[in-house]
Each structure stands twice: as C-alpha cells, then as structure tokens.
Amino acid sequence: MKLFVTCKDCEAQLPLPYSALDRAELARTVGDTFSLRCPKCHATNTYTVNEVVARESAAIAALAFGLLLLGTGVLAYCANGNANG
Ligand SMILES: [Zn+2]
C-alpha cells in the first residue's frame, strides 16, 4: 500500500515519502502533522495523519487485473477444449 494526501491547493494526489502500516504507525514516525510540498503547484501545506489515505499502487492494480484476464482466458480455453474433446 502507498500513502497519499490530497493537495489542498490543486487536489493532486501526493505520494508520501514515508511508509507505514497504518495511521498510528505513521503518527509515530512523522508526528500528528507534517508538511509536504506539492510537486505540481509547488504549494507547501500542513497535513494531519487523518488526511492520509492508503491505496494500492497502480502497478500492483494493473498486475492484479492482468492476472485476472489471464486466468479468465485460461478458463475459457479449458472450457472450449473440453467441449471439443
Ligand atoms: Zn498542488
């Protein structure tokens, strides 16, 4: 899981340069509040750990989707093979 906050100025999703299993661990690492500079609009805002959201990275989501398609294809292939054989 990657941690993100939403930029208060341009609403871009900013990935945090920290990793943590949950907000409690994040709060122990960075404190209750931290400052982050948006690479898109260059605004520096202060965020609280309650504003942090965790989501899976796009690469992992794409990989999971690819495996799902592959699995569906294999099942379809097997079903056709059984019908013909
Ligand atoms: Zn921004």
The residue ranges of every structural domain in the chain are 2-84
User: CB–CB of 3/15 below 8 Å?
Assistant: yes
Structure-model confidence comparison of residues 53 and 22, the more confident one:
53
**Hey, is 14 helix, strand or coil?**
strand
Q: How far apart are the C-alpha atoms of 48 and 43, rounded to whole Å? A: 16
Gap from CA of 64 to ligand 1 centroid (Å)? 30
Confidence of residue 84 (pLDDT cuts 50, 70, 90): low
pLDDT at 74: 86
pLDDT at 85: 59
Q: Render pLDDT for 26-78 as a digit per residue (tens, 0 to 9).
A: 899 999 999 999 999 999 999 999 999 887 767 777 888 889 999 888 888 88
CA-wise closest residue to 12 among 63, 61, 47: 47
Gap from CA of 77 to ligand 1 centroid (Å)? 48
Gap from CA of 44 to ligand 1 centroid (Å)? 8
Gap from CA of 7 to ligand 1 centroid (Å)? 5
